[in-house]
Chains A and B, each alone.
Chain A
Amino acid sequence: ADIISTVEFNYSGDLLATGDKGGRVVIFQREQENTDRPLSRGEYNVYSTFQSHEPEFDYLKSLEIEEKINKIRWLPQQNAAHFLLSTNDKTIKLWKISERDKRAEGYNLKDEDGRLRDPVRITGLRVPVLKPMDLMVEASPRRIFANAHTYHINSISVNSDCATYLSADDLRINLWHLEITNRSFNIVDIKPPNMEELTEVITAAEFHPQHCNLYCQTRCWFHLELCLLSAVFEEPEDPSSRSFFSEIISSISDVKFSHNGRYMMTRDYLSVKVWDLNMEKRPVETYQVHEYLRSKLCSLYENDCIFDKFECCWNSGDSTIMTGSYNNFFRMFERDSRRDMTLEASRESSRARAILKPRKVCTGGKRKKDEISVDSLDFNKKILHTAWHPTDNIIAVAATNNLYLFQDKVN
C-alpha cells in the first residue's frame, strides 16, 4: 500500500475517497443497514480502485511530473453516478464512477460471448433483455484539465454552483468550468516580475460552501484572504515571541470553511485558529495542537518536519475540530467546552470495536505512566490528512499508508 496523500468524504458520507502517492484512488463505501448485522453500519469496504494519474515527463523542462494525488474533491451528486475531481501537481481530472449491475443478453448480431453471428444464420429477431449481474463499479475519466499550472497544484475546490471549480498552485489560482477543458480563467497571480523578489506562495484556497462568489486563499506567511469581499484576515504578530522560525510556523497549511459558512479555520504548524468571517482583526479561537514542539523548532527545521503540512476539519455541527500531529496522534477540540483530546491511530490501539484511549504528551517534569515524552515521539509517523463525515461522527485518519476509520461508540 502506498502513502496516502488525501482523504475526502463525499457529500452524503456514504463514499470515502483516498488518493495515494502512486496516483491511485481507492473509494470505500459505507455498509448499508443490515438487520442481520446491526453493528455493521459504519463499516467501510472497498468500492472501487483505479489509477487516476500516471507519472509523466515534461520534455520542455526535462523533469518528471509526480503521479501523487494531492487533492480529491467530490462533486454533489446529481444522478446515479458519482463524480470526483482528482489532481496531481499539474493535471486535474474529472472521474465518473458508475455502477453496472445489469447486463443485456440476447443480442441479434452477436453471441453471448461477443462473437459476431453469421448473418446468414439469423432467422429471427429478438429484443435483448436485461439480466442481473455481479455489481461492477466503473471509473472513467470524463474531463482532463491540463496545462494551466506552471507550479504545483495544492488545492482544488468545487463551487456551490456545481458548475465551476478553482485550482490553486503556489503562485496562481485558476477558475474552471467543469465542461470546458481547454480554457481556464486566472483569478489570482502573485508571481513577481522578477522571481528573485518572491517572498510568499499560495498555500491553500477554498470556495465558500454557500456563496458561489466567495472563496478564501492562504499564504505561506500568516495571511488569510477572503476574496471578492477583499477582506484580509491577519493576526498581529506578538513581538515577544518572534524568532527566526516565526514565519515558517505561521505558514498556513490548510483552510476550511465551516459547514454553516460563518467561520473559517486555518492550520499553521503549531495551532489551529478559527476566524469569524465578520472579524478580520484576529481569530475568535486559537487551539494549540502541540505547543511542546515550540522549543524544538531548530531540530524540526533541520529535519524538515517544520515544513509538514497538516490538514484540519470540522465536524458536521461545526462544534468540534480535528487535526493531526506526530507519533500518529491526532487532536480534537470541542469549541464550546474547550475540551481537547489526543488520540492515537495505531494498530495496537485500534482493534475493531475498541475504544480509543486518550493519550498525553509529557512536556516536562516527571513522566507519568502512559504518558509519552516529547523526545520519544516518532516524527516519521505523521497524520497530515484527516476527514470528518459530513453528518455522522465518523472520522477518517490517514497514517502514512494506513487508513483508520473511527466512529462514535454505538450504544
Chain B
Amino acid sequence: MFVRGLKRKCFDGEEDIEGTLAGIKAIPSYNLQRQSLLDMSLVKLQLCHMLVEPNLCRSVLIANTVRQIQEEMTQDGTWQMINTQSTGQASLDRLVSTDILCRSSREQAEGKHVPGYGTFNKDFEGGQGQDSSETMSTASSVQAPRNLQSNMWEMENSQESKGNFQKSLDQIFETLENKSPNSVEDLFSEVDNSYYDLDTMLTGMMSNTKMGHCDGLETFSSPTNTTSNSNCKSDLNELDHIVEILVES
C-alpha cells in the first residue's frame, strides 16, 4: 500500500485504539495522532524547503494543514485537561520525535521560554539530559510554516545553508538510530490502523464538543538537543526564523 513509509509497530496492549473515540482516554490518543500529523507535515515542509524549487501547490496545502492544526490546538489550549502532568508525561514518551528544529546557541544563552508554557518547560528541561532523543518537534513550530514558507518560496537561502541543514537533519536521524533499537521503535511506534482511523477519529472529534486540554499546550516546549545543536549552529539563517517562533516574538 505504501509507496514509502516508516516501519511501524503496533501499539502495546495498554492503549486500546477502538476505545479512544470517547471518553478521557480519547484525549491523549487524539492529540498523539494530531501531533504526529503535525510532525509529519512539518517534516514535509522542511523537506520542501530543502528542494531547490519546491512544488508550490503541495507546499501551500501542507502549510494550510499545519495552520489548521495550529488553530485547533490554540483553541484546545483554552480548555483544562483533567489528567494533566502524569498523562502528559506518558504521552510525551510516545510522541514521534522529529527534532529538526534546534535551538540556536543564542536562544539558549538568552534562556527564552515560550510564554505561558513555562511550567512544563522546566519539567521538560529537567528530564532532557536523560533522553535527548525524545524531544519533540513541538507545536510551537506550527508558526514555523509562515517563515518557512517565505524562506522556501522566495528561495533566498544559499545552497550551502541548505546543504548544511540537510546534513544536520541526516545527523539527527543518525543520532536517533544510534540509540537503542527500542527507542527508535518507540519513536516510530504508530499503528497503521491508527492512521487509517485518524480521519474518522478526527472527524468525529471535531464534530463533537471540543475536548480541549493542555496536552497540546504542554507540547509547546522548546526542545534542545545538544548533539544536533552544534550541527544546527551553522544554519543560523533558517533557524533564526524558527527560534523567533519558539520565543513567540
How would you classify the secondary structure of chain B's contact residues: helix, strand, loop or mixed?
helix
Check if B150 is an interface residue, CB within 8 A of chain A: yes
19-73 of chain B: CB within 8 A of chain A: 34, 37, 40, 52-53, 55-58, 60-61, 63-65, 67-69
Q: Is the CB of A196 within 8 A of B147?
A: yes
**Residues on A close to B: CB < 8 A?**
61-64, 151-152, 170-171, 194-196, 198-201, 203, 220-221, 239-245, 247-248, 251, 294-299, 301-305, 307, 374-377, 379-380
Task: Say whether, besides A63-B53, A243-B206, A304-B3, A299 and B64 are in contact (CB < 8 Å).
Answer: no
Q: How distant is the Cα of A247 from the Cα of B195 in the complex, in angstroms?
A: 18
Tell me whether B174 is interfacial, beta carbon within 8 Å.
no
- B233 close to A (CB within 8 Å): no
CB-CB under 8 A from A239, the residues of chain B are: 207
* Docked-complex contact B57 and A201, CB < 8 angstroms: yes
Q: Which residues of A contact B40 (CB under 8 A)?
A: 301-302
| Top-9 shortest CB links A-B | A298-B195, A303-B3, A298-B198, A170-B56, A63-B52, A196-B150, A243-B203, A201-B57, A196-B146
CB pair B155 A61 closer than 8 Å = yes
Contact B1 A247 (CB under 8 A): no
- Contacting residues, chain B, for A303 (C-beta < 8 A): 2-5
Whole-angstrom distance between the Cβ of B31 and the nearest chain A Cβ: 13
What is the minimal beta-carbon distance from B47 to any residue of chain A, in angstroms? 10
The 8 Å CB contact of B1, one of A245, A294, A299, is A299
* Measured CA separation A88–B217 after assembly (Å): 45
**Is the CB–CB distance between A245 and B199 below 8 Å?**
yes
Residues of B within 8 A of A242 (CB): 203, 206-207
Q: How far is the CA of A200 from the CA of B53 in the complex (A)?
A: 17
Give Cα A302 to B207, complex, Å: 24
**In the complex, chain A residues whose CB is within 8 Å of the CB of B63:** 199
Which residues of chain A have C-beta atoms less than 8 A from B199's C-beta?
A: 243-245, 294-295, 297-298
Q: Which residues of B contact A296 (CB under 8 A)?
A: 1, 195-196
B154 interface residue, CB < 8 Å from A? Answer: yes
Chain A CB within 8 A of B211 CB: no
List chain B residues, Cβ under 8 A from A61: 53, 155
Smallest CB separation, A60 vs chain B (Å)? 10
Enumerate chain B residues within 8 angstroms of A63, measured Cβ to Cβ.
52-53, 155
Query: How far is A380 from B5 in the complex, measured between Cα atoms in Å?
Result: 13
Q: A63-B53, A298-B199, A302-B195 are in contact. Are A198 and B61 (CB under 8 A)?
A: no
